[in-house]
Amino acid sequence: MISAYAGKLLRVDLTSRQVRSESIDPDAARRFIGGRGLATKMLSEAVHPQVDPLSPANTLILATGPLTGTSAMCGGRFMAVTKGPLTGTIASSNCGGTFGPELKYAGYDMVVLEGAASEPLLMVIEDGKVELHPAGELWGLNVHETEDRLHGELGRDFQLVSIGPAGEKLVRFAAIINDKGRAAGRSGVGAVMGSKKLKAIAVRGTGGLSVADPPGFRAACLDSLAKLEAGEITGQGLQSFGTAILVNIINESGVFPTRNFRQGQFESAEKISGETIAEEILVRPRACVACPIACGRVTEVRGGPYRSRGDGPEYETVWALGADTGVEDLGAVTKANYVCNELGMDTITAGATVACAMELFEEGVLSEKDVGRKLKFGDAEAVVDMMTKIGNREGFGDVLAEGSARVAERYGRPELFMGVKKQEMPAYDPRGVFGMGVQYATSNRGGCHVRGYMIAPEILGVPQKLDAHTPQGKAETNIAFQNLTAALDSIGVCLFVTFSIGAPELAAMLKTATGFDYDADEFMQVGERIWNLEKLFNMKAGLTRKDDTLPRRLLSEPMPAGPAKGLTVPLDEMLTQYYRLRGWDEQGAPTQEKLAALGL
Amino acid sequence: MNVEVRLFATLREYLPAGSGRTSAQIEMQEGTRICDLLDRLGIPAAIAHLVLVDGRYEADRTRELQDGCAVSIWPPIGGG
Ligand code: SF4
């Protein structure tokens, strides 16, 4: 038994309804840690990368890290790892809330879901006892109804993950939701759970976790906590204003994608900013387990047609459902966010897909007859309406439920898809922040910001300011961020801690918790190993260098106005540099020497 | 000369009375530098982490401001 781990995983064959408990392999844990890393290793061995992601041959792994559920700050995270139905690449989505720690207290580091059931099922885990129950009565309920029903039946001590109608109906960007408002959001992991007909997992655990070096671990955690509390961003900023505090700076820097990336500034940004949210709709901040940062928002729209209460919106969400669709009504943006939480889908892809459809509509490619209504930029009511239709696959929502890459392709305008590897880019236009360009192009799960958050140095000056308008040095920094994040996603701690601490502090907590002799260098090397393994999975799935690219608009249509006016992304230069620094060949394949050095 | 000042997050408390949610017009002498503006508003230099002049990052606090420009200032912020 390895310290800090529960030491076991639960393997569930949903087809035969067989459940098995297996030990966690200590050698694999040492080399891949847990969470994203260990789950990627197991997925790579179990699933052929060319399987249909929504077939029983795909596997879905919910994986905690060794620090999940310990007293490490922000250690409430788990990952959902599978082959993604949106992208066809590896998918790994991070989720907060209470489920991860509870799973470990029940005795398991991971749940490995194989096959597919013939009828809807509910899985109940209680301290090592596991049962599968028919869940026909839950099928069709939204996430909030599901949680309320299960809490009523099982008791509030159970922590839950579930899918909503979007996951059941295989919306390609359906999410897995925990605590009503925390999502393993991206790449369609919820659709994979839906394809397996697993509606929810309820878990309760009363066990504890032991660490290898209790005084050392306590000291390492206190050191990190002190740095988080002293840091302006993690100590106070995120709690006061949430992540949407970014709206104004990204907009003023001219890289706030507006109307499907036609522009880089939104004239009504102020109306959907973190400051406005704090003044107008914030009820209180909300934190995941053991998190002193509390970036989450409990909000209430108090009047008008969108009166309601719930969680959110985050920065990426106000962008996707606001600026990207040209909507300035904060009440509507917030309501559309609540609908996504309830139906269980990713706000980024949902909003960006409507934005793409709006451009198709304004270009005359889509008609009112196709859509069943007008769909112009700025139409708040249309955005809220389309969220409901997508999540239920009703009317034109059924078309949009496939994501914008497939929508743009279907209507003969593939260049209007604003994403990479079929996944929509989030809220930063790389024409004015070049490092995000190489980040989006190389991200192993398609358009994504949290694989290597280049906004921190290029815009926010953290840890130090880089010139956003030069390609120099971007590949190198991006690689370091990608490796760091891959390791971080494997230990079970939230990415936001990296605004105040880095690899040395994370490695110190990991070492004292597990007893494995990690230092900062090895921690970063584990991240590099995971990144390369993900890349190998994608190559075997059929992806090549030509998939490491950006939409034509960003490569050849100069930014029309603002501080980034006249710029396009100099991707080739950064990409060549990136491959070289990664030790990959010109086609972007890891060389034999690199794989040998990483022990892959 | 006239300068538009925009202050965000916790820095909004340094806006002169009667300003909008995040911005104010301020009358300054020709040759005013960024550091003079920070002094005038009472913003400690250490918390003025990011300064953009007309959307462009400005590291040099002795840079002179031009009539009609917009100066936006943030404390350290993060998100994503
Ligand atoms: S910083 Fe935010 S997302 Fe991260 S653990 Fe805390 S509340 Fe959750």
Q: What is the bridge-based pairing of β-strands A8-13 and A159-162?
A: unpaired
Q: What does the DSSP assignment read for A362-406? A: HTTSS-HHHHSS---TT-HHHHHHHHHHHHTT-TTHHHHTT-HHH
So what's the pLDDT on residue B20? 85
Residue A512 lies in a domain: no
Residue A46 and residue A155 share a domain: yes
Mark yes or no for CB contact B75/A243 under 8 Å: no
Residue A236 and residue A377 share a domain: yes
Please state the rounded mean pLDDT for residues A182-187.
Answer: 96
Q: What does the DSSP assignment read for A109-127? A: SEEEEES--SS-EEEEEET
A313 Cβ under 8 Å from any chain B Cβ: no
B56 Cβ under 8 Å from any chain A Cβ: yes
pLDDT tens-place string over residues A510-519: 999 999 999 9
**Is the pLDDT confidence value at A236 over 90?**
no
Residue A535 and residue A447 share a domain: yes
**Residues in chain B closer than 8 A to A246 (CB atoms):** 77-80
**Residues in chain A closer than 8 A to B49 (CB atoms):** 232, 461
A315 Cβ under 8 Å from any chain B Cβ: yes
Last residue of a domain, one of A374, A400, A424: A424
Name, in order, each residue with C-beta under 8 angstroms of A525's C-beta and a sequence gap of 6 or more. A483, A598
Residue A138 lies in a domain: yes
Q: Which element (helix H / strand E) includes A37? A: helix A35-46
Residue A1 lies in a domain: no
CA torsion through residues A415, A417, A419, A422, sign: negative
Residue A118 and residue A15 share a domain: yes
Residue A289 and residue A172 share a domain: no
Residue A186 and residue A77 share a domain: yes
- Chains A and B form CB pairs within 8 A to the count of 100
Cβ-based burial of A28 (10 A; exposed 0-12, middle 13-18, buried ≥19): middle
Residue A397 lies in a domain: yes
Strand order in the sheet with A198-204: A129-134, A121-126, A198-204, A159-162, A176-178, A182-184
Please state the rounded mean pLDDT for residues A514-526.
Answer: 98
Select the residue from A275, A277, A448 to test the B interface by mutation, using most B Cβ atoms within 10 A. Answer: A275
Name the 3-class secondary structure at A472.
Answer: coil
Number of residues that make up chain B: 80
Name the 3-class secondary structure at A322.
Answer: coil
So what's the pLDDT on residue A232? 87
So what's the pLDDT on residue A242? 96
pLDDT tens-place string over residues A332-374: 999 999 999 999 999 999 999 999 999 999 999 999 999 999 9
Query: Domain range for residue A342?
Result: 232-424
Q: Using 50 as the pLDDT threshold, list the residues of chain B that sit under it.
A: none
What rounded mean pLDDT belongs to chain A?
97
Domain boundaries, chain B: 2-74
Mark yes or no for CB contact A315/B80 under 8 Å: yes
Q: Which of A67, A70, A71, A74 for a ligand 1 pocket mutation test, highest count of atoms within 8 Å of Cβ?
A: A74
Exposure string of A60-86, with b = 16+ CB inside 10 Å and e = fewer, is: bbbbbbbbbbbbbbbbbbbbbbbbbbb
pLDDT tens-place string over residues A102-155: 999 999 999 999 999 999 999 999 998 999 999 999 999 999 999 999 999 999
Residue A142 and residue A12 share a domain: yes
Here the tokens at position B42 are 């009472």
So what's the pLDDT on residue A31? 98
Using pLDDT thresholds of 50, 70 and 90, give the confidence band for residue A434: very high
Asked if residue A32 lies in contact with residue A56, where contact means CB atoms within 8 angstroms, the answer is: no
Cα(A296) to ligand 1 centroid in Å equals: 7
The number of domains in chain A is 3
Residue A268 and residue A194 share a domain: no
First to last CA, chain B: 37
Mark yes or no for CB contact B79/A244 under 8 Å: yes
**Residues in chain A closer than 8 A to B75 (CB atoms):** 232, 237
**Residues in chain B closer than 8 A to A276 (CB atoms):** 21
Q: Which element (helix H / strand E) includes B66? A: none
Residue A305 and residue A250 share a domain: yes
Distance CA B57, CA B49 (A): 11
CA torsion through residues B27, B31, B32, B34, sign: positive
Last residue of a domain, one of A424, A443, A462: A424
Instruction: Please confirm whether the linkage preceding A305 is cis (ω < 30° from 0).
Output: no
We report the CATH number of the domain holding residue A442 as 1.10.599.10
pLDDT tens-place string over residues A460-515: 999 999 999 999 999 999 999 999 999 999 999 999 999 999 999 999 999 999 99
Cα(A184) to ligand 1 centroid in Å equals: 13
We report the CATH number of the domain holding residue A197 as 3.60.9.10
Considering only the beta carbons, identify the residue of A232, A275, A462 that sits closest to B21.
A275
Q: Which of A96, A75, A243, A76 is nearest to A179 (CA)?
A: A96
Cα(A76) to ligand 1 centroid in Å equals: 9
Q: Identify the residues whose C-beta falls under 6 Å from ligand 1.
A: A 74, 76, 96, 287-288, 291, 293-296, 494, 496
Whether this model's pTM surpasses 0.95:
yes
Specify whether the backbone of A52 is left (phi greater than 0), alpha (psi in -120 to 50) or beta.
beta
Name the 3-class secondary structure at A278.
Answer: helix
**Is the pLDDT confidence value at A1 over 80?**
no
Q: Which of A104, A73, A74 is nearest to A1 (CA)?
A: A104
Residue A506 lies in a domain: no
So what's the pLDDT on residue A482? 98
Using pLDDT thresholds of 50, 70 and 90, give the confidence band for residue A237: confident
Residue at A20: amino acid letter: R
Asked if residue A221 lies in contact with residue B45, where contact means CB atoms within 8 angstroms, the answer is: no
So what's the pLDDT on residue A416? 98
Last residue of a domain, one of A382, A397, A424: A424
Q: How many CB atoms lie within 10 A of CB A31?
A: 20
* Helix and strand totals (H; E) in chain A: 26, 17
Q: What is the DSSP letter of A157?
A: T
Residue A296 and residue A152 share a domain: no
**CATH architecture of residue range(s) B2-74:** Roll (3.10)
State the nearest Cα–Cα gap between A409 and chain B, in angstroms. Answer: 29
Distance CA A412, CA B72 (A): 42
Asked if residue A358 lies in contact with residue A262, where contact means CB atoms within 8 angstroms, the answer is: no
Q: Which of A234, A213, A291, A92 is nearest to A518 (CA)?
A: A213
